[in-house]
Each structure stands twice: as structure tokens, then as C-alpha cells.
Structure 1
Amino acid sequence: MTAGTLARPTRSGTAAVLVVLGLLAAGVWALTDLQINFATLADSAGNAVAFARRMFPLDFPPLAELLELAGQTLAIVISATLLSVLLSVPLAIFAAANTTPGPGSRLAARTVIVLARAIPDVVLAIVFFRIFGLGAMTGVLAMGLHSVGMVAKLYADAVEQIDEGVRSAVRAGGAARGQELVTGVLPQVMPAFVATALHRLDINLRISVVLGFVGVDGLGYAIATSFQRLDYRRGMALALVVLILCVLVELGSGAIRRQLLRGGGPTVRLPAQRGIAPQWTFARVRRTCYAAATVLAVAVSLWGAELSPVQFFHGLGDIGHSLGLFWPPDTGGIFPTLLADLGETVKIALAATVLGALFALPVGALAARNVAPRPWVARVFRVFVVLVRGVPELVLAIVFVVITGLGPVAGTLALVVGAVGLLGKLVADSLEEVDPDVEQAVRATGATRWQVFTSATLPQAAPAFAAHVLYQLDVNIRSATLLGIVGAGGIGFDLLSASRILEFGMVTTILLLVFATVLLVELLAVWLRRVTV
């Protein structure tokens, strides 16, 4: 190719651009078809005012009852997160290419991880509710097993990114395979393991609200009961408590991450060096105190969740009969309706992704320290993102159902708010991770702040932003399914109705339809990443 000649785009690159443009066009069409516009919102303004009057003043339960509900919720969430970590560590070792015993083991572990992520936690809760009945056991197992899909995947990725030199040094010292993992692998990945577990704890706290609508104890169940009685003052008061808990958990987990992981995590020592101990500095004492507090919180949660081994093994005795109720799949004679509702779910997800991305880009940019005009602006928008992420989407869906009425508009608006919280954070992180030298080079030419952003910062972060949007679409399809439970449109309402009338074969059919849809989106995202890298 001669100088000055532009390289021709590859077929795969052109196809990727066309697919992205097609998804954007589909999202715009979905917004139009669902009538998500200013006129719709203006027509609902009166309902919003009426809802606010019915919501205020907030009606909090007595302090003792409130503390009991919050304690129940935290106990279930922490226990579920612990279960996911215990299951994810061995799965990650088998799933990672550099630690797996063989290709068969890796394929089996990866399959388990994908299935755990693909099955909605609400479906797992419905199954376990049938086996174990109302209580904490159902929530712990549903959240714990579903969390494995995310936790084990991120753990496996962390294991594959270790420094193999350390592991080789441990092996050269005569360590057995088990010692090699404990001494050469786990200390390196411990920072990532801790950060992932704490992040999943934050997610599970929000999920607990959704599971309350299918019988899991705690604040979620109390919120569901309040809204079913149309007691919006009590329901929104409890939702505010959940928001405060989410913010406190995020701030607390952030502090623990900074203290436990400062300095790169645990020191890797060879077998011959085991007698050498680091000095007890103030920083080490502080990290130890955080670790002790974490262990204490886990122990109290296991006790507070009142998990009964007798109930667990008794339920296992009936698991064959209970699972048999879900097979074979059954359409109940309404398969065309299920397909139409699935199509509505996809429309909701597409519309919410496009609109959410439109709002998340400026919010994320102002939350990035290297883009915001002042440091205080970045801090304000970071706090805003945390607050938005702390509001459970199911609560938002209920509010929008009351304001805009039953249907997909409520689900779309709820997911838009949720997308601003998640995408805003991811966009801010991506913008802060760009190469500052490129920004400095453009700035040295006399470019303005806006020119630096558009010509240096944004182009570097664009591939990550595209990946985040596809991830948000995946998340929105799952979330749109769940929001249908409260009448926010889509196939979720069919899912809840089928479980309530004990049509478990139809539950399986709905699960398979959602799984196939999510799998297609995930395969599309993998292909796009491959052809654009």
C-alpha cells in the first residue's frame, strides 16, 4: 500500500459497523413503537403529583421491626455471597486455562458458569420456594447459585492473568499441585477475589428486593406486601431504607477494598520462606482489623439467617419430585402470546439501552476526574451515580406503573434510570483509564478542554463504551423479564402468573425462551469484540 492510501475496511469490520447501526436503529424504532416521548411523560405528570401525595409522609415501621427486617436482609445477602464465593473458587480453578486439569474439566466448569448466569434468580427462587418453602434458605440458595455465574467467571479471568513466573518459582521449590495453587496462585488473585465478592454483595442487596416478591424474607418481602396493599407510604419508606443500605454497603465495601488490597494484596512466599513474617505496621494492623470485621459480619450473618441443615436435607429428599414438575416444557396453549410478550421484553430492553446510553455518556463524562471541569463536579456526579444505582429497579418500575399505568412504558423508564447508574459508572471508569499522554499531546497543541475530550479522550474510550452498551443490553433483557412481575410489560408477568397457578412446565418454556434470547445477545457481543479488537 502506497503512502497516503487509506486501508480498505475488512468485511468483518464493515459487518460489525452495520450490526451496531442496526442495533441503534432497532433501539430508536423501539422507542417510537413504545411511545416513549415527552408527550407521554407530560400526560403522566398529573399521576406523578397524585402519587407523591399518596406517598408522603413516608410511614416507617417501628425501629425494632425495621432493624429486624434490615438484619434479615443483610444476613441473607451476605450468606448468599459467601455461598457464591465458596462455589466459585474451585469452579474458577477448573475453568481457567492455566490451572485446569484438562480440556474436559474446563468445558464442564465453563458450562456450569454460563448456566448459573443464564437462569434468572427469580426462577431459582421459584424452584427453591417449591422445595424449601418460605424463608431465608430460598433466598440464600437462589442468590448464591445465580451469583456463581458472575463471580466464577471473573475469578477465572483473574486466575488466567496471574504472573506465571511466581507459580513456576513455587513449582521449582518442590511444591505439590495443591501447594502450588495455595502458595503461587491464590495470593496473586486474592485482591481481585475480594473486590469481586464485595461488588457482588452490593448487587445481591438490590436483588433481594426482587426476590421479596416471590416469598424471600426481609425488606423485599415487606416492600412487596406494602405495595400489594397499595400502602405506598410504607412501601416507599422501606425502599428508602434499601437505598440507604445500598449506599452504606457500597461505601463500606469500598473502604474494605482500599484497606485490604492496598499494597497489592498478600505477599507471595516460597515454601522455604514460610518462617519469615512481615512486620506489624500500622497499615497491616488496620487491614487485619478490616479482615476481622469481615469475618465477624459473615459469622453473624450465618447465625442471623437461621439456615437449618435439617430443612436443607429434608428438602433435598423431595428435590426429584419438585424438579420433575418443571419438565417437560409446556406452552399452556398460549405460545404465540409468549412470543409476543418476549418480543415486547426485547423492545423494552432495546429502548432502555439506547435512551440510557444517551443520558449515561454526559453523566459518566462529568463523573470522570480527567474530564470534569472541576474536581468537585466529578465528586458530585460520582455521588449521583451511586444514589441512582442504589434504587432497586423493581421499585422504580412500581413507581412508574403507578404514574404511567401498566405496560412497557413503565418498564422502559425504570430500566433507563438503572442504565444511567450502571453505564454512568462504567463510562466514568473507562474515561479515567485512557492514556493521559495522548491527552497531554493534544493539549500541548493549544486545544481546548472540549477538543481534548472529543479528539483524544473519547476515541480511546469508545471501544470500551461500545462493549459496556452491549453488556447493558444483556442486563436489560434479564431485568425487563423480572420487571414484568409488577406489570411493567413483557414476559415477566407470564412467568409470575405461571408460577402462581403451578404451571411449572410453562415456567420452563419461558426460561428457555429468555435463555435463547440472552445467549444470542451474548454471542453477538463476543463476535463484535473479536472483529473489532
Structure 2
Amino acid sequence: MTPYVNQKKQLTKVIYSGLFLLIFIFSLIQVGILDRRLFEAPSRVESLLIGMFPPAISEPIDIAGAAIESLQVAIMGTLWGIVFSIVLAMFAAKNVAPHISVSYGVKAFAAFVRAVPALIWALLFIVAIGLGPTPGILALAVNSIGMLLKVYAEAIEEIDQGVIEALKATGASKFQVIMQGVIPSVMSIIISWSIFRFDINIRYAAVLGVVGAGGIGWELVRASRIMAYDEVLGITLVIFAMILCAELLTRYLKNKSDRVTLQAME
């Protein structure tokens, strides 16, 4: 390698490093990170931590009820999302869709739904329906459809086409082909991804309450508004325990599902 090439590479590195440094400093100034409030933050954090400890829960019954409501929102949102995703996947998969244009249309719908965060869906449903757990259930269901519909459709497209052709050769109707050939072939994938989505929805359900969609998130907002930081920490610990239990449950269900699948293949 010639000295000219080495000098050119070094000069390029210097230019890129300088540009990165300039953009970094400009970003710090633009977003206000170098503001004087940053230097006052340690004292504020100290007072916040003092107010948080020890954690407290003033109304255990209400908090427990809110946690159960969040769990119910996650369960209902996941179930509705699974049901509609399975139905729509039959129109999205190219090998079972009535027409290729239908497949592209349903997939485009799934992409649009997936592009909008669950929090935005919750806000839209709150405007349409009002506060409470119902907007949270609808938001999780719609957001779940965006993810599960894509996964289910791809799984259906990858199944052995011979299974479908064999059923058609016996004179089976479209419904029979789907119920006896398509769904059994992708059942393990449906179970696996549905459990994974339920794990995600547990976390979402705790957050959606912040915007008024019911559940324990609303209790967290209430405590923060009255600056009861010990209650904020207590409710946060309850959310952590709820998510941890859901993680253990979904892991158990996933392992059990894998064992059943392996036994069926033997």
C-alpha cells in the first residue's frame, strides 16, 4: 500500500471524526442537554430518592385490583388478536388466499397496523370510546394483529403444498382444507408466537394505563401527580413483580409447548 493511499485513509478518518464531533456537540446544544438544569439534577435526584424510600402502597386492595385489571386487559387483547390474526392470515397467505391481490391488501393492512404504536391506538380508542380498560383491550388486539398476522401468514406460506393438494384431491372444501391441513401444520408456530405476544402485551398493558386505558398504569400516574414518590416506587415494584411472574409463566408455557411438539414429531 503506497504512502499516498495511507495518507488518504488517515485524512478520511480525521474528516469523519471531525464531522461526528461537530454533529455531536451541535446535538447537545440543540436539545438542551448542556443546560444549567443538568448540573442541578444531582440534588433533585437525591431528594427524589429520599422521597422514594421506603416504598409504600397506601391502598393495597386498589393496587391489586388494578394489577389484575392490567392482566385481564393483556389476556383479552391477546386472545382477540390471535383470533383475528388466524382468520386474516388465511387471506394473507398466497397459497390459500382467494386471489393474490387479496393477499397483498391484507399484508398492507398488517404493515399499517404494525407501524402505529400501541400507545397511539390506545389514545385513538380512548377518544372514540372513553376511559377504561376497553380501549386498552382494543389497542392491544389491533397491535397484536399487526405482528401475529405477518408471522402466521409467513408460516402458512411455508407449509408443504402437497398437504393442501392431497386434501383437495379427496374433494375437501376450502374450509376443510384450512381446518384439517393448514392449521394443524402451523399449530406449533401459532402457539409459540401467541405466547410470545402475550408476554409483550403484559408489558404494554402496564404502560397503557398511563394514558387512561385502565390498569395499574393509571395508579402510577395518580401517585406521580400528587408527588407521592414512595407510592410510585411501590407501584413500580408491583409492576416489576407482575411482569416477572408473566415471564416465568410464558417461559413455562413455551417449554411445555415445545415438549408437546417434539412428542408429536416422534
Mean Cα deviation higher: 493-502 or 300-309:
300-309
Contact (CA 8 Å) 2:195, 2:254: kept in 1 or not?
A: no
Q: If the length of structure 1 is used for normalisation, what is the TM-score? A: 0.40
Amino acid of the structure 2 residue aligned with 1:360: S
Could you tell me which residue of structure 2 aligns to residue 483 of structure 1? 208
Could you tell me which residue of structure 2 aligns to residue 360 of structure 1? 85
For residue 363 of structure 1, report the CA deviation from its aligned partner: 1.4
Amino acid of the structure 2 residue aligned with 1:357: I
**DSSP 3-state at the match of 2:52:** coil
Contact (CA 8 Å) 2:199, 2:250: kept in 1 or not?
A: no
Could you tell me which residue of structure 2 aligns to residue 184 of structure 1? none
Cα 1:300–1:423 change in 2 (3 A) is farther
For residue 378 of structure 1, report the CA deviation from its aligned partner: 0.8
CA distance in 1, matches of 2:161, 2:43: 60
2:120 to 384, 390, 395: 395
Contact (CA 8 Å) 2:126, 2:135: kept in 1 or not?
A: yes
Please tell me whether residue 505 in structure 1 is matched to residue 236 in structure 2. no
Cα 1:300–1:351 change in 2 (3 A) is farther
Instruction: Note the alpha carbon deviations across 1:279-302, whole angstroms, 9 max, x for none.
Output: xxxxxxxxxxxxxxxxx9xx9799
CA distance in 1, matches of 2:232, 2:84: 35
Q: If the length of structure 2 is used for normalisation, what is the TM-score? A: 0.75
CA distance in 1, matches of 2:192, 2:248: 13
1:519 to 240, 244, 247: 244
Aligned residues: 236
Please tell me whether residue 466 in structure 1 is matched to residue 191 in structure 2. yes
2:63 to 338, 349, 362: 338
Give the 5 Å matches for 1:21-420.
306=30, 310=34, 314=39, 317-318=42-43, 321=46, 322-331=48-57, 333-420=58-145
Q: Which has the higher contact order (CA 8 A, sep 6+)?
A: 2
Contact (CA 8 Å) 1:467, 1:525: kept in 2 or not?
A: no
Please report the RMSD computed on the Cα atoms of aligned residues, expressed in angstroms.
3.2
Amino acid of the structure 2 residue aligned with 1:397: A
Unaligned runs of 5+ in 2: 1-18, 259-266
CA distance in 2, matches of 1:455, 1:377: 23
For residue 403 of structure 1, report the CA deviation from its aligned partner: 3.2
Amino acid of the structure 1 residue aligned with 2:244: L
Cα 1:301–1:441 change in 2 (3 A) is farther
Could you tell me which residue of structure 1 aligns to residue 7 of structure 2? none
Cα 1:426–1:505 change in 2 (3 A) is farther
Cα 1:517–1:434 change in 2 (3 A) is farther
Unaligned runs of 5+ in 1: 1-295
For residue 440 of structure 1, report the CA deviation from its aligned partner: 4.8
Q: Percent identity?
A: 34
Cα 1:519–1:371 change in 2 (3 A) is farther
Cα 1:488–1:529 change in 2 (3 A) is closer
